[in-house]
Amino acid sequence: MKTWQRDTITSILAIIVFAILTGLIYPLAITGISQVAFPGDANGQQIHLDGKLIGSKIIGQNFGTPVLEKNGKPREVKGAVVTEPDPRYFQTRPSATEGGADNAAASTFSNHGPNSVKTKEADEENIKAYLELNTAPNKQEYDPGLTVGRIPVDAVNSSASGLDPEISKANAWIQAYRVAAVRGLPRSTVDGLLAKYTAGRGLGFSGEEGVNVLELNLALDRMTKGKG
């Protein structure tokens, strides 16, 4: 037998063997072990409320309510439901996912370039929306010191995944004024919850601290419910 023929036979056998070993046994074993050893993590840290699935702890959500047309139906642009942020809840970072913000079935980057006019316009729009959201109906900012220069970058720049579950503490502190006022809670209570759901840096130095928005909002709901 010539060497190329022998190589061909071995190649075919090798692909079959390796496909079974690394393409079936390996992923299925890892998945199986994870399902037994870390079922919560392996299934995406799902959060249920009253028996209903309401989110994943580590996937960012849009805490907005649908904008309704005059006929009572939700307004849609390009198939995506238009929403406006619900002031009772902390809001996640801007998201550029297709099919509406925080679409966890199709993660997408914003692709905004550093020197692009479009990026500047998007930033300006987000700044405007953030200021509006954090301004009370009486035209007073909830956070009395709030100016454009004080808005933290994470509140304006879209996240990479479009699914960032966290916001910076600075962002949360500003929003805490609003949430406390709208819900009629003392600031100290909101700040306490905020601190509770802040994740530290990995290993003490890696990355940045962040506040988990979904957990924080759920805790707020529990607290308000408990009161009334």
Partner 1 sequence: MTFAGWFTIGAFAVVLTVLALPLGTYMAKVYTGDRVFLSPILSGPERFLYRLMRVDAERQQDWKSYAKSLLIFSLAGWLFLYFVLRTQDAFFVPHALNPLGYHSPPANVTFNIVSSFLTNTNWQYYGGETTMSYLSQMIGLTVQNWLSAGVGIVVAVALIRGIVGRSGKGLGNFWHDMVRTILYVLGPLSVISALVIASQGVIANLSTYLTVHTITGLEQKIAMGPVASQEAIKDLGSNGGGFFNVNAAHPFENPTSFTNFFLILLVLIIPAALIFMYGRMTGNRRQGYAIYAVVIFMFLGGASVAYIAEAHGSPAQHAAGLHTGVIAGSGGGNLEGKEQRNGIAGSALFDVATTVTSNGSVNSSIESYTGIGGAVPFANLSASEVIFGGVGTGLYSILLYVLLAVFIGGLMVGRTPEWLGKKIEAREIKLAGLGILITPLAALFGTALAVATKGGRASISEVATSAGKLGIHTPQAFSESFYAYLSQANNNGSAFPGYTGLIQPNAGNLGAHGITFADVLGGLVMLFSRYAPILFALAVAGALVGKRVTPAGLGTMRTDNGTFAVLLIGVIILVGALTFFPALLLGPIVQGLTGHLY
Residues 160-199 that bind partner 1 (CB under 8 A): 160-173, 199
Tokens of 50: 């009253």
Taking the least distance from each CB to partner 1, the nearer of 27 and 138 is 27
- Which of residues 87, 134, 142, 158 is near partner 1 by CB under 8 A? 158
Q: Which of positions 129-148 make contact with partner 1 (CB under 8 A)?
A: 148
The owner of tokens 């003392």 is 186
The owner of tokens 């100016």 is 147
CA distance 24 to 133: 50
Least distance in angstroms from the C-beta of 1 to partner 1:
11
Assign 84 to helix, strand or coil: strand
Least distance in angstroms from the C-beta of 99 to partner 1:
9
Taking the least distance from each CB to partner 1, the nearer of 138 and 144 is 144
The owner of tokens 């550029």 is 96
Taking the least distance from each CB to partner 1, the nearer of 186 and 200 is 200
CA distance 130 to 84: 11
Cα 110 to chain centroid distance, Å, stands at 14
Q: Which of positions 21-80 make contact with partner 1 (CB under 8 A)?
A: 21-24, 26-31, 33-35, 37-38, 41-46, 49, 52-56, 58-66
- Which of residues 134, 176, 210, 216 is near partner 1 by CB under 8 A? 210
Least distance in angstroms from the C-beta of 159 to partner 1:
6
CA-to-CA dists, residue 30 to 26, 35, 36, 42, 45, angstroms: 6, 8, 10, 10, 17
Taking the least distance from each CB to partner 1, the nearer of 36 and 138 is 36
Residues ≥6 apart with Cβ < 8 Å to 41: 34
Q: Which of positions 73-132 make contact with partner 1 (CB under 8 A)?
A: 81, 83, 86, 89, 93, 102-120, 123-124, 127
Taking the least distance from each CB to partner 1, the nearer of 10 and 140 is 10
- Which of residues 129, 141, 143, 157 is near partner 1 by CB under 8 A? 157
Least distance in angstroms from the C-beta of 192 to partner 1:
16
Burial level of 92, CB count in 10 A (0-12/13-18/19+)? buried
* Through-space distance between the first and last CA atoms of the chain, rounded to whole angstroms: 85
